Amino acid sequence: MKILLVEDDGDAAAYLTRALEEAGHAADHAADGDSGYEMASANTYDVMIVDRMLPKRDGLTLINNMRDEGQQTPILVLSALNQVDDRVKGLRAGGDDYLTKPYAFTELLARVEALARRKQNAEVETHYRVGDLELDRLSHTVTRGGEKILLQPREFRLLEYLMRHAGQVVTRTMLLENVWDYHFDPQTNVIDVHISRLRGKIDKSFDTQLLHTVRGAGYIMRA
């Protein structure tokens, strides 16, 4: 399991990262809210552990920003604030679980693993939305601002994958493996061609661009 820990206390972060790795998991660490946001946007994680009181961007703001962009990674909120209202705020911000400090590592690990299982067992989404762009897998329709957009089958599959990973950077390799079923890069421009066509249909006639190129990394869908 790949975990992102966003924690500004260096000693606590070092202890928790080491403990997670000893438990058999891979753990990345971000020391502030801005770094956490950037890492969460650029990588795919099974679970995030987010401290509530963070410099640069507090934990609840970080979670809100991620949820607004369609990021559905399960999040465990860590906080010394233990009143009912505090826990409610954490969950309403988009957190999936809330653990107060001080805590026992065994309980934290159990909660993290439970969140990962919940994600794995979740039903397959049939409807995706980013901004005013909507895709429905059951009716095989795409609309933006209520206007129907006609896509070719491969374009639909490409858009579905991008929207399913909204808020995350999607690499060319990920697209080749999941949209074209290639498990290597054949040095083809097929991705560039389809991305260009897709942009022309979902972005060109609208004020706000949703499909962005991340230079040297790949693509990202976000409002």
Q: Could you read off the pLDDT of 204-223 as tens digits, one per residue? A: 989 899 999 988 888 999 98
Distances (CA, A) of 101 to 23, 85, 111: 20, 16, 14
Same domain? 114 vs 162: no
The domain in which residue 165 lies consists of: 127-221
Q: Closest Cα partner for 78 from 129, 42, 112? A: 112
| Residues 115-154: tens digit of each pLDDT | 888 776 555 678 999 999 999 988 999 999 999 999 999 9
Query: Do 86 and 140 belong to one domain?
Result: no
Give one word for 39, left, alpha or beta, with left for phi > 0 and alpha for psi -120 to 50: alpha
Indicate the SS3 state at residue 27. Answer: strand
Q: Dig out the tokens for 104 from the structure.
A: 């026992």
User: How many other CB atoms sit within 10 Å of the CB of residue 99?
Assistant: 19
Domain identity same for 28 and 82: yes
List, for residues 15-47, the tens digit of each pLDDT value.
999 999 999 999 999 999 999 999 998 888 999
pLDDT at position 193, please?
92
Residue 188 has pLDDT above 80, yes or no: no
Question: Which residue matches tokens 């095989």?
Answer: 140
Show which of 72, 90, 121 is a domain's final residue: 121
104 and 35 part of one domain: yes
Q: What percent of the chain lies above the pLDDT cut of 70? A: 94
